[in-house]
Structure 1
């Protein structure tokens, strides 16, 4: 008996279509994050958070700026781009009411505990990741502003308890954001496959 021929619907699935603003937000996020991470490592090398000036340094291949002042210029320029892009995305999801489908709700918690629907559980994990990353990003921006203008924004330094605590919070926010990006991508792959990921940028 011949194997069944796949239906036309299964052969020609529609390509996921993302709004142009979503593509722009993702591209700006990706570029500004890369600029901030590489320039941030340049700043880190001038006075490592862990171990002082004698602490472990990152290799030049991962650095941007050439020296401390150059790293700072790149870092703060990219920070403004990232922050304004994040604000724009926040306004976008509020105006389009996408926030209703982005963040964790009581139904998602129930799905994580009881649902046997794998796709539903994946969406719930995605919303959990979106919800957790918001305070992390706010802490990263707040701690960065405190390091940028410690005299003018001394209350930020006081909020974190000390200058060193401020630096540790800011530094550790970076791997958390990278982990979020990986989880975000893996969950997208699980739900929509390679086509969904490609549609976010192209």
Structure 2
């Protein structure tokens, strides 16, 4: 009789981080679509609308409430995880280094190359997440932070930049999962949540 092999062990902080990210990103995405429908970024009020079944909040104010509540959850989760990887010194294994660049150029080991690509993606998403939060904060409190709006030129440019971060985060999440699966299979992905 063959027993199933055990899942790789992951720190409880990593599991919590992944669950909170999945839930908060889903809420921000669906509520963001509700906000978008009130005044589409592309085409103004007559622009392309998202079907209501994909939007959370029911109307503009409802979408904003859900979106900003999830934004705080997501942002605080990132801060706590950032502190965790600094204190635990896991940052040494999470972000790209010159060894990863060398591995991509020279290594024939496919697993090592996948790790290198993973670290590149993990590192590249940090400024995108900061841009999403920064631009979102400017949209959330434009009266308190008019200088954020000014950094982007005007309100419409700010909205376009914020909107553009969404597909980048979705693409990152997909690449993150695919690279994790390539390195550790389904067992590794499961271990991040269970």
> TM-score under structure 1 normalisation?
0.93
Q: Does 1:140 align with 2:132?
A: yes
Change (3 A) 1:16 1:151: same
Which residue of 88, 97, 103 maps to 2:89?
Answer: 97
Consecutive unaligned residues of structure 2, counting only runs of 5 or more, are none
Partner of residue 118 from structure 2, selected from 118, 121, 126:
126
Which residue of structure 2 aligns with residue 3 of structure 1? Answer: none
1:60 aligned onto 2:52: yes
- The counterpart of 1:179, out of the listed 171, 177, 180, is 171
1:197 offset after TM fit, Å? 0.4
Establish whether residue 83 from structure 1 lines up as the match of residue 94 from structure 2: no
- The superposition leaves residues 79-137 of structure 1 with CA deviations (integer Å, 9 ceiling, x where unpaired) of 00000000000001001000000011111111111211111100000000011000000
SS in 1 for 2:192: helix
Out of 38, 42, 53, the residue aligned to residue 46 of structure 1 is 38
1:189 to 178, 181, 191: 181
**Cα pair 2:27 2:56 within 8 Å, conserved:** yes
In the alignment, structure 1 segments of 5+ residues that lack a partner are 1-7
> Contact between 2:180 and 2:189, CA under 8 Å: does it hold in 1?
yes
Which residue number in structure 1 is paired with residue 150 of structure 2? Answer: 158
Q: CA deviation at 1:15?
A: 2.0
Deviation at 1:28, TM superposition (A): 0.4
Q: Is the 8 A contact 2:7 2:190 kept in 1?
A: no
Find the aligned partners of 1:155 and 1:166 in 2 and give their Cα distance.
11
Q: 4+ residue stretches of structure 1 with deviation over 3 A?
A: 11-14
Cα RMSD (Å) of the superposition? 1.1
The higher radius of gyration belongs to: 1
Q: CA deviation at 1:13?
A: 4.3
Deviation at residue 12 of structure 1 after TM alignment: 6.0
